[in-house]
Amino acid sequence: MYPGLSLLLASEWTWEPSVLIGLLAVTTAYVLLAGPGRKAFRGSAPISTGQKTAFHLGTLALFIALTSPIDEAAETYLLSAHMAQHILILFATAPLWVLGVPDWLIEDVARRLPAVARFGRKLTQPMAAFGIFNVTLIAWHIPALYQASLHSDGVHILQHLTFIAAGVIGWWPVLAAVQDSVPRAPRSVQLIYLILMVFPGLGLAVLLTLSPRVLYPFYQAAASAGIDPLGDQEAAGILMWFTGTVAYLVPLTHVFYAWVHDLERADAAAARAAATAERSA
Amino acid sequence: MSMGNRPTASRVPLIMRIRKAWLLTTGFVVAAGLSGCAGSPTFLNPASSISDHEAGLYMVIFYLALGVFIIVEALLAYALIRFRKRDDDTEEPRQVYGNMRLEVIWTAIPVLLVLTLFALTVSTANAVAAPKPADSDVRIHVIGHQWWWEFEYTDYGFTTANELHIPVGANVQIDLDSVDVIHSFWVPQLAGKTDAIPGHTNYLWLTAGTAGTYHGQCVEFCGVNHANMRIKAVAESEADFKAWVQGQQQPLYQPQTPQEQAGQDYIVNQICSNCHTLGEYEGKRSIGPNLTHLMSRSVFAGATYDLNEANLRSWLQDAQAMKPGNDMIVNLSSEDIDNLMAYLTQLK
Amino acid sequence: MTTQAEALSAPQAAAGSGQGLLSWVMTVDHKRIGIMYLITATAFFVAGGILALLMRTQLAQPNATVLSNAAYNEIFTMHGTTMIFLAIMPLGAGFGNYFVPLMIGARDMAFPKLNALSYWLYLFGGLFLFSSFVFGGAPDAGWFAYAPLTEKLYSINHGMDYWGLSVLMLGTATTIGSINFVVTTIQMRAPGMSFTRMPMFVWMTFVTSVIAIFALPSLTTATLLLLLDRLVGTHFYNVSAGGSALLWQHLFWFFGHPEVYIMILPAMGLISEVIPVFSRKPLFGFMTVVYSGIAIGILGFTVWAHHMFATGMAIGALLFFSANSFIIGVPTGVKIFSWLATMWGGKLSFKTPLLFAIGFVALFTIGGLDGVHMAVLPVDWQITDTYYVVSHIHYVLFGGAIFGLFSAMFYWFPKMSGRQLSETLGKWQFWLMFAGMNLTFFPMHMLGLLGMPRRIYTYADGLGWGIWNLIETVGAYLVALGILFFLINFFRTMASPPTNEADPWDAFTLEWKASSPPAPYNFAEIPSVRSRRPLWDEKYPDKADWKQGE
Amino acid sequence: MTASTASPARFRPGSTAKVGLLTVIASEIFFFATALSAYFFLRLEHPEWSLPAQTPTGLLIPSLNTLLLLASALVIRQAQRAIAADRTKMAQMALGLTFVLGLIFIGGQVFDFSQSGLKPDDAAFGGIFMALIAFHAFHVLAGMVYLGITFARALLGDFSANHHTSITLCAWFWYFVVAVWLTLFGALYLV
């Protein structure tokens, strides 16, 4: 079925020093923050284990994306491996990191740098976040830009950085724990937001899967390695399509039941208040 | 707010509900039993490994669905009988709002069912997947026209229509095309259907396990005569197939008698040449079938009529009556018809 | 919750509340528009039914000559288009127009004039479509009008132009109606009615409207491009000049599959109102049923190509559509189990509304299981475009949507007219339709398995199809008899004096608080709500819903 | 996941008309999305289409038009700010200017088509390219009709600081029209 399997198994792990240093730095910073460093921030509470595991899982996902055989296969022939890499960044690392960041950290930073907080609040507005996430997603699929990222490492790193940034901004309205300085959207807006997020990815994935010709000439080389580039491109399209649908349905279920829970709690409180008011009147 | 008069419960006789349950179950038993009926072109009576896989998968899905059906309808029937409102009982039942555990269970079970179904789908899809075009024994170019099928045997250099011949056990590779609208090529007992889409060649593979003639039909609505665009697929032994191919490769029959010569001249020079090709006389546009070996076929007019002299003569007299709305709009004098009949009947 | 004040001034004397014909034409009252929708849609439903009878008479015998092939093609196209665009969708819109404002405690829809516009656009679109029979030939390329066949070259007469223009009109009418429903549901709910306390029918109409808003533009694009092809001479679908034959199928089915959910979700909402009332129990797992509606709505947009399994697309994509079509079966199953759980432990009184609701549950289960059969890719290669599909369509649309709509017709008839439809005639109608429906559509499974393609005006003898087609024709006439019983019931009841009973079924939701038929302004003062079943709270204060803290 | 203690922020969409317009815009976005995917679907089947779509008159006029529309967006935003600050004179001027800029945009597009020699019935490319631009032009015209009505009402002094929903709606629809043009410009001319 999947044409690229043989090559994927053949490629080895790539131990890129710059990647390793970066990931190590991020992890140590977070561990310090969770441990002794917490006191440096006002109103800091101990970070729950759930948040810790979420953050480290995010870093692990990035590690797998950038150093496992996926990376080497992605660099050489397989569009589908490259797609898997970007999906790990956008749909694993970014959301898990947003989940892992404690709210008091952002509140304190916002208190210290109000200008940055205002800018952050503007960026993570649902409408803006939706635009940034999807425009970045679509922009990097334009053949000219994508070819550039394949040919030069600088552009490729820029691509990955923009994906991480767009991912964090895109998932912020839904997953951020923060309520005040750079708040997440209200539950009902999150519901609409997640429903609408399905469609841009869906359109892109459909065109990628059903395209009768290879969109990115770089991958013509895959034919020499005995892989049918069109089949590989189709597999990449399906991977994006499936993730795009499932990746939003899972948080959507959580958001829906959280929204129902909030509403029912508010309704019950209102009903009791009305009842007591009636009794006293 | 008055209590409102309580609606008197009218008792739906038990017999009515039993009759409903009986009606549904017999329907299903008949469906299962009937699938073996020989006469009709059903994939449940397969003649190829492809249709066999698909029939097997259908049966598995059918019995799974039957199980779910029986559970749900039995629960429904039981609820209808058990929780009927007795006349004297006006007190409200216990108000149950929901039960998260039950909801999780009846979501999880369908999900598991769905996963098994998907696994079955993928495995069968692989099993019936077309082998590499390279190792196909016979390669046929099938072209859908508005309201008949054209079969071009590119390997052997001849073209025929309405009647498809394939050797038994061979791996037949079909390149499916259409010159006008979307048709769909389907011989149920040999393979699943595939659409013939203009400008988009589809690849379909056929194989016949046992010799015999199999009925097929165009299955994508393609206009006025969609119902009259049928296929007669003949699976024959290797030897018979070779003999049939030899027959088709013979050069055009040269007319012996002046009447036959007049018939051929009419076809080649008169109105017939606008649509039909005959031997080396290529018609301007192949609107109609190739007539070189017309009589070697047992059916004609989109495989809706048996090819015998009586049918052919009435076709020439009034084609519109036999297949209303087709593109053959001619009025021939009886003398022309006699000449044509004399020549056409010789085109073995 | 925004209060009513901003939306509507004091009880607005609804324009055209008089009795004359002009008052009906000029009305913007959601109740009158709802009634006009229901009457027009029932008329089109009967017209579509007559077309179906003609088809069944032609197919009763092999090689029959009741209808010519050209006439048969026109009739089956008009049957499909009428039933979908002119009967089922408007019936849902009719009940929605009448009851959504009443059930959420509002005085009217958010945009009353727009509401009237969408009805008249629908009526004109329907009449325009039917006028094609008289002027220039009816459309004859199937209700989903696949592209190359509908090009000028292969559909020379104006049939497809009629189809395209009227579908554009009907699509605009539905989009405007959907926008009206969405805004009404968001803005004009009664005080205390949060989203978790809205009745299920309002929820399902809301989800249907959102789906329609996102799905109909795809049909508008496809039809506009087709009309440009036919009238201006562009080449979007003309393969020889660079167009693509598959483009129409993708655009149409991206609308087509959400469309079938636009047709079934209101009916699911309707029976979610009827079953609790006649089981004397609340709907089981309310918010899960709502969520399954939303999930069906979203997934509906990702499965469209399971209508195109035979087009030879990439096998990976087809398997993906097959998987998604399976996943969409799960929320549907959850709904069926919730209805069963609602009836479980209840006190069922078998009035006609409940009979139709039970008919819905029983028959929709069969239709749903057929759907699962066709989601299996290799099996679909054998049974797509055969009568198996026709059987699936009719089990879910006739057994599902129409049974649900008739259940609502009997349930809400007292509220709309102050008169109750006769129970005996209702039961006769139910059993005739139930038996007729099974006799007509169940043998289609056998025909599909026996390889009979759909949309053929005749078939050869000796293929084992004749017996089943004959049974189906008998069944079709039984269903027609059932519908006749309904018409008799309707006219007899309208002739009898009204009893004006406000709450004949001892129901739970807000619309039964208003009088029957409700005053033009619905409620003297807007009622406030503390749970999903305000009338239950009033009738049984000690067992009130909001006390349960569920 | 720390459950937020503060009461959940409520979604206040504002008046009925605003919710109505947002729904209309959502529907129109899907109309353009499907039309654009039809364009890309056709383009995928035709590698020979000149990429990016170089109309004979080149990119000059379309890019000028794009700048024009962006400017009109800023102008109508100014109208919103002005009416919020109760400066009705400024708001009227801004609305009028937006109308004029819209007119110039339509003129520019019509001129560009007349020069480009593209005809709707020469192969699929001409058709879909002109259809998309025509659909968008139709929406610009609809926006300008609404703009004209609002401009006339502004002249009659209908609007004040606390009552100017119509101007807000006009602005929102105009932003939608400009956003769609940016996407079309990118898809048809640049990519």
Q: CB contact, 8 Å: A264 with chain C?
A: yes
pLDDT at B127: 87
C531 and A CB contact within 8 Å: yes
Q: Of B326-330, C357-361, C466-470, D51-55, where does mean pLDDT reach its minimum?
A: D51-55
Torsion angle of alpha carbons A69, A73, A75, A78, nearest 10°?
Answer: -150
pLDDT tens digits along C377-413: 999 999 999 999 999 999 999 999 999 999 999 999 9
**Smallest Cα distance from A262 to chain D, Å:** 7
Q: Rounded to a whole number, what is the distance in Å from the CA of C16 to chain B's nearest CA?
A: 31
pLDDT value of residue B6? 33
Confidence check: pLDDT of B13 > 80: no
Report the C-alpha gap between A102 and A30 in whole angstroms. Answer: 10
Locate A225 and state its tokens.
């390695």
Cβ–Cβ under 8 Å, residues C81 and C129: yes
What does the DSSP assignment read for chain D? -PPP-SPPPP----SHHHHHHHHHHHHHHHHHHHHHHHHHHHHHH-TTS-SS---TTTTHHHHHHHHHHHHHHHHHHHHHHHHHTT-HHHHHHHHHHHHHHHHHHHHHHHHHHHHHT--TTSHHHHHHHHHHHHHHHHHHHHHHHHHHHHHHHHHTT--BTTB-HHHHHHHHHHHHHHHHHHHHIIIIII-
Distance CA C523, CA C537 (A): 18
Task: List the single range of A109-113, B189-193, C541-545 with lowest mean pLDDT.
Answer: C541-545
Q: Which residue of C has its CA nearest to D131?
A: C225
Q: How far is C383 from chain B (nearest CA, A)?
A: 8
Does residue B166 sit in helix, strand or coil? strand
In this structure, is the dihedral angle defined by the CA atoms of residues B57, B59, B64 and B66, taken in order, positive or negative? positive
Measured between alpha carbons, how far is B20 from B13 in angstroms, rounded to an integer?
Answer: 12
How much of chain C is helix, strand and coil, in % rounded to 5?
Answer: 70, 0, 30
Q: What percent of chain A has pLDDT over 90?
A: 21
Confidence of residue B87 (pLDDT cuts 50, 70, 90): confident
- Give per-residue pLDDT as tens, C329-382: 999 999 999 999 999 988 999 999 999 999 999 999 999 999 999 999 999 999
Give the CA angle between residues B110, B115, B119 to the nearest 5°. Answer: 145
Interval B150-163 mean pLDDT: 90
**Chain C residues near residue D42 by CB distance under 8 angstroms:** 236, 242-244, 247
Whether A260 has its CB under 8 Å from any CB of chain C: the answer is yes
pLDDT at C1 over 60: no
User: Between C183, C222, C243, which is nearest D124 by CB?
Assistant: C243
CB of C326 within 8 Å of a chain A CB? The answer is no
Instruction: Report the neighbours of C using a cutoff of 3 or more CB pairs below 8 angstroms.
Output: A, B, D
pLDDT tens for C278-335 read 999 999 999 999 999 999 999 999 899 899 999 988 888 899 899 989 999 999 999 9
Contacts of D16 (CB under 8 A, 6+ apart): C6, C7, C110, C111, C183, C187, C188
ipTM: 0.89
List the one residue out of C249, C375, C160, C447 whose CA is nearest residue B217: C447
Work out whether strand B202-206 and strand B194-196 pair parallel, antiparallel, or are unpaired.
unpaired
How far CA C238 is from CA of C524, D39, D123, in Å, comes to 60, 15, 9
* Each residue's pLDDT tens digit, D68-127: 999 999 999 999 999 888 888 888 999 999 999 999 999 998 888 887 777 777 777 788
* Rounded distance between C-alpha atoms, residue C490 and residue C471, angstroms: 29
pLDDT in tens, D132-171: 999 999 999 999 999 999 999 888 888 888 888 889 999 9
pLDDT tens, position by position, C128-181: 999 999 987 899 999 999 988 999 888 888 999 999 999 999 999 999 999 999
Which of B9, B53, B181 shows the shortest C-beta gap to C154? B181
Q: Which residue has the higher pLDDT, C231 or B15?
A: C231
Average pLDDT over residues A195-213: 89
Cα–Cα distance for residue pair B9/B4, rounded to 1 Å: 15
In the stretch 200-239 of chain A, residues with CB closer than 8 A to chain C read 202, 206, 209-210, 231, 234-235, 237-238
Whether C7 shows a pLDDT value over 80: the answer reads no
A241 vs C contacts (CB less than 8 Å): 302, 320
Mean pLDDT over A84-111 rounds to: 88
Measured distance CA(C86)–CA(C96) in Å, rounded:
15
In this prediction, residue B199 has a pLDDT band, given cuts at 50, 70 and 90, of: confident
C-alpha closest to that of A230 among D173, C316, C49, C163: C316
pLDDT at C247: 92
Give the pLDDT score at D129: 87
Beta pairing partners, B216:
B231
pLDDT for B217-244, tens place per residue?
999 999 899 999 999 999 999 999 999 9
Q: Examine the pLDDT at A7 and tell me if it is beyond 80.
A: no
Residue B27 clears pLDDT 50, i.e. is over it: no
- Among candidates A1, A241, A263 on the partner chain, residue whose Cβ is nearest the Cβ of C320: A241
Cα–Cα distance measured from residue D122 to residue C243, given in angstroms and rounded to the nearest whole number: 11
Which among A199, A202, A210 is the nearest to C314, CB-wise?
A210
Which one-letter DSSP state was computed for residue B131? P
pLDDT value at residue D68: 93
Measure the N-to-C terminal CA separation of chain D; round to a whole number of Å: 42
User: D1 pLDDT exceeds 60?
Assistant: no
Q: Which class for C414: exposed (0-12), middle (13-18), buried (19 or more C-beta within 10 A)?
A: buried
Other beta carbons within 10 Å of A85: 23
How far is residue B220's CA from residue B92's CA, in Å, rounded to a whole number? 55
3-state secondary structure of A51: helix
Three-state secondary structure of B170-195? CCEEEEEEECCCCEEECCCCCCCCEE
Summarize pLDDT for C500-533 with one digit per residue, the tens.
888 889 888 888 988 888 888 888 888 888 888 8
Average pLDDT over residues C535-540: 86
Q: In percent, how much of chain C has pLDDT > 90?
A: 69
**Residue B284: predicted pLDDT:** 61
- Phi and psi (nearest 5°) for B165? -110, 130
Q: Which residues does chain C have within 8 Å of residue B176's beta carbon, measured at their own beta carbons? A: 312
Q: For residue D47, which residues of chain A lie inside 8 Å, CB to CB?
A: 213
CA–CA dist C72, D78 (Å, integer): 61
Residues in contact with D25: Cβ distance below 8 Å, sequence separation at least 6, in sequence order = D172, D173, D176
CB-CB neighbours of B69 under 10 Å: 19
CA distance A264 to C349: 31
pLDDT of residue C316: 84
Confidence of residue A15 (pLDDT cuts 50, 70, 90): confident
Question: Is A256's CB within 8 Å of C530's CB?
Answer: no
